[in-house]
Amino acid sequence: MRVAIVDASALFASLDADEDYHAACVRAMAQPDLRLVIPTLVITEVCQLIEGRRLDPRYETQFLASLSANDIQPPVPGDWLRIAELVEKYADFPLGAVDASVIALAERLETDLVITLDRRHFSAVQPNHCGHLQLLP
């Protein structure tokens, strides 16, 4: 079973059938050979997107309830240094803490697979553990 880190953009798109990449994100996350891991900081960003787009509060309720069936990973102490390093190194993007936490978790779990719609950031960042990240969908 391969580990896939799930980013906020893909999670948000999977929640809302009106999103352009909804079906592609749902398919990517439904692959039976994947163990999906969600960084804790991603959850906050998804909630902010739901609120910022003024979606019905039921979207947030359903999203939060769905998390009980997922592997949620908070940053461990060493991740915070790596997150800070990535934010500083890619300040010109800018690469924020949430995206940096996705990369730090991928490095810690030694996976190159990230489910995201954010090709700009995740294609450009050089992770420590592999040549580049494989992005789905």
Least confident stretch, 10-14, 65-69, 88-92, 96-100: 65-69
Please say if the pLDDT value at position 20 is more than 90.
yes
pLDDT in tens, 50-70: 988 887 888 899 999 999 989
Query: What's the Rg (C-alpha) of the chain?
Result: 14
Task: Tell me the three state secondary structure of residue 2.
Answer: strand
pLDDT at 54 (0 to 100)? 83
Give all domains of the chain, ordered by start, each with its CATH number: 2-136 (3.40.50.1010)
Q: Do 123 and 102 touch, CB atoms closer than 8 A?
A: no
How far is the C-alpha of 47 from the C-alpha of 61, rounded, in Å?
10
What average pLDDT does the chain have? 95
